[in-house]
Structure 1
Amino acid sequence: MQDFHTNPDRLKQPVELQDDAGITWRLRRRRIDLRVARRLLHDSTAVVILGERGGTHPRLVADAERPRLWSEISGHYLGPGGGTATGRFLAHEFRADPDRRMLYVEEHC
């Protein structure tokens, strides 16, 4: 999966991400509400990506990792619905087509 030169939250539109299967995902919504992030994280049909190293280095999150990721995100979410202004996670929604959704979680140090 391609790296970003900066995190998706700071990139100018259009923001696209090509995955390892050659599918191009387009950023649909930035800084989604924590409840939307939770819904996507628990949706087995949605792809979940963790953007490590300040959100620039994306990697696929395995299904078995999702509960642990949710426990980290839920208490440290910087976006809407989060409980802290000093959180270290932001989430964005990408789409490959109307039926394919991706949750992109930026992790900041």
Structure 2
Amino acid sequence: MTSPMVMPNTHAMQAFHMNPDQLGAPVKLLDDARVEWLLRKKRVDLRAVRRLLKDHATTVLLGESGGTRPRLVADGERPMLWDKVKDDYKGPGGRRMAGRYLAHEFRADADRRMLYLEEHC
């Protein structure tokens, strides 16, 4: 993978050249603290998405612009985001094959999880 492109904001994250679902292994994400996250599971089941969104120990990113430009989701945004995702999820357990959201799980180590939600128009 090429060197990370960092976006200028308070929670700078590496931008992807295409969404994580389309990238070949290994898929790594470098966060603003220079922590390297490794993609562990693509297309997470909707029940796991719900559980991870509710777990405040889990970092949640929303990959805007087709899943390529991640931004940190604040705790207060999570319930509103779940309301959108649950009815428009195109991964396992979702109701629509052509939904707007798809989720992946990243890990920094055994105890640190990140939920990455791709958002497509």
TM-score strictly above 0.5 = yes
Q: Cα deviations across residues 50-80 of structure 1 (Å, max 9, x unaligned)?
A: 0000000000000000001000000000000
In structure 1, C-alpha distance between the alignment counterparts of 2:116 and 2:77, rounded to whole Å: 14
* Structure 1 position 91 matched with structure 2 position 90: no
Code of the residue aligned with 1:20 in structure 2: it is D
Partner in structure 2 of residue 20 of structure 1: 32
Unaligned runs of at least 5 residues, structure 1: none
Percent sequence identity over matched residues? Answer: 63
Code of the residue aligned with 2:94 in structure 1: it is G
* Structure 1 position 47 matched with structure 2 position 59: yes
Unaligned runs of at least 5 residues, structure 2: 1-12
* Structure 1 position 80 matched with structure 2 position 80: no
* Structure 1 position 31 matched with structure 2 position 43: yes
In structure 1, C-alpha distance between the alignment counterparts of 2:17 and 2:98, rounded to whole Å: 23
* Structure 1 position 63 matched with structure 2 position 75: yes
Structure 1 stretches (4+) deviating beyond 4 angstroms?
Answer: none
RMSD of aligned Cα (Å): 0.4
Alignment length (residue pairs): 109
Higher relative contact order (CA 8 A, sep 6+): 1
Q: TM-score, normalised by structure 2?
A: 0.89
List aligned pairs for 1:97-108, cutoff 5 A.
97-108=109-120
Q: Cα deviations across residues 70-99 of structure 1 (Å, max 9, x unaligned)?
A: 000000000000001120100000000000
